[in-house]
Amino acid sequence: MKKKAEAYASLRKPFLVNELEPQYLLHDWRKVYECLAMFGIPVPRYGCVHREVPFWHLDYFVEEVNFVEVMGTAFGNLVEKPTVDGWEDQSLICFYVADATPLYLHEVVISHYTKYQKPQNSSMAYLFDLKKHNQMNNEETYQVAIVIVPYLEQGHLNPLLNLSRILSSYKLPVFFLGTSTSNRQAKFRLSDWDILDFPTIRFHDLAPVPPDSCSSVSAAVMEKIGSFFTSILLLREPIWEFLQEVSSTYRRTVVINDSGMSWVVQDAVSIPNTECYCFHTISVFTALSFACETTKKLLPSPVAEIIAELPPRENTFDSETIEYIKMQRESRNFYSVGLHNSCKEIEGVFIDLLEEQRENKQWAIGPLNPVKISKKKSSEQTHECFSWLDKQDLNSVIYVSFGSTTTLSKEQINELAFGLEQSEQKFIWVLRGADKKGEDNIENVERGSNFDLPEGFEERIKDKGLGL
């Protein structure tokens, strides 16, 4: 019926009250819940199980007589019920709690099988007979879990979410920790891959403890670092509780935290079966300049001369940020390895020097920014940025962007526009407003078209510059 309706609409072009194509979203409960959660709409407690073949062993799924467990979350008293399409689609099966109805769901397990036909005499026990499968493959469950703790800004969320994708591709359970706002932002701004294709990635929303009940952060510290940084420090206890729970379930827990979250994960070192890695989103060169400023160790020429010309940290950050960075630096003594969103081909020299400065291993595991470039030359499928870049000479274009935490004033925009125009340098300039800290305004960000550029600027630079 649905295909007939689409064919009729394509042929007759009637007035449509609702678009037809989005209806397919309702055919997959995973996408329905993901969409609802993205926009802050409450969803029932649920788990997703995805296999490419029947009875495929999954570390994150366990079936017992009276319940099933998905990523450490137990679901009991389940009964099998039809999906949205009845049993026409035999690859998607839902199990609701026995006393729930589709309109008043309390919890649900969604089991998805690719290219698999449900047998005639199916039952939950048969479909989820993992014990037999584990014995056949001589495998153990609950081996290793990865816990990702990103700093709560977009430039930090994205690399660690892309790292989570890589780890998930090895069928490892990955827990991505953040606030409800930061997790929703990370998913909303995801590009070039679908989070539903990596079912072992689970987002865990943390709630900061009330300031007056937090014993680890004094009032004096809160005053020094301001409200936003304080809200991050108040995540220490929830993170500690989560790590205790995970470490009691898995044989080994690996924590990968952003360098800006070192203070809130420092308690992990006391858990015997847990190891920690510190991830840096800044360039290795920048990390090296910060390290030598702290250690005072000498650097070889010409690196020493280049770094000596950089402004001191006090001239780069405000007092609140400097105090917060100091707290993170003092909490990193327990790390044996530093991870970097870079590669040796680009920053190999600086990686070696950083190891000497910090006296521990530094691994370049990047770049962690996947870009999907279509091989199709259709102008409809190619962004104007790529079309314009294809016409430029190699290494002839500079990229100008101040990230998601900076809003330029009108005077700054005019000065930067004047400098780019006078430089005669070809460029791509991303102009946008900053994310408002702590606010749930993911979609409402000012873009370049909303800023007042100098009169006639875009016309004068159209052949050598591109503004986004």
* Known catalytic residue at 205: no
The alpha carbon of residue 106 and the mean position of all alpha carbons in its chain are separated, in whole angstroms, by: 27
How many angstroms separate the CA atoms of 447 and 468, rounded?
A: 8
> Residues 154, 453, 393, CA angle at the centre, nearest 5°?
75
Catalytic pick from 28, 59, 112, 258? 258
How many angstroms separate the CA atoms of 230 and 252, rounded?
A: 31
| Amino acid sitting at position 465 | G
| Amino acid sitting at position 372 | K
Catalytic pick from 50, 156, 280, 340? 156
* Known catalytic residue at 156: yes
Burial of 395 (0-12, 13-18, 19+ CB in 10 A): exposed
Backbone angles phi, psi at 71, to 5 degrees: 50, 40
Q: SS3 string of 193-262?
A: CCHHHCCCEEEEECCCCCHHHCCCCCHHHHHHHHHHHHHHHCCHHHHHHHHHHHHHHCCEEEEEEEHHHH
Q: Which helix (H) or strand (E) holds 427?
A: strand 426-429
Helix 29-38 and helix 180-188, axial crossing angle in degrees, nearest 10: 120
168, 174 Cβ separation under 8 angstroms: yes
Task: Give every CB contact of residue 296 below 8 A, 6+ residues apart in sequence.
Answer: none
Q: Active-site residues: which are they? A: 156, 258
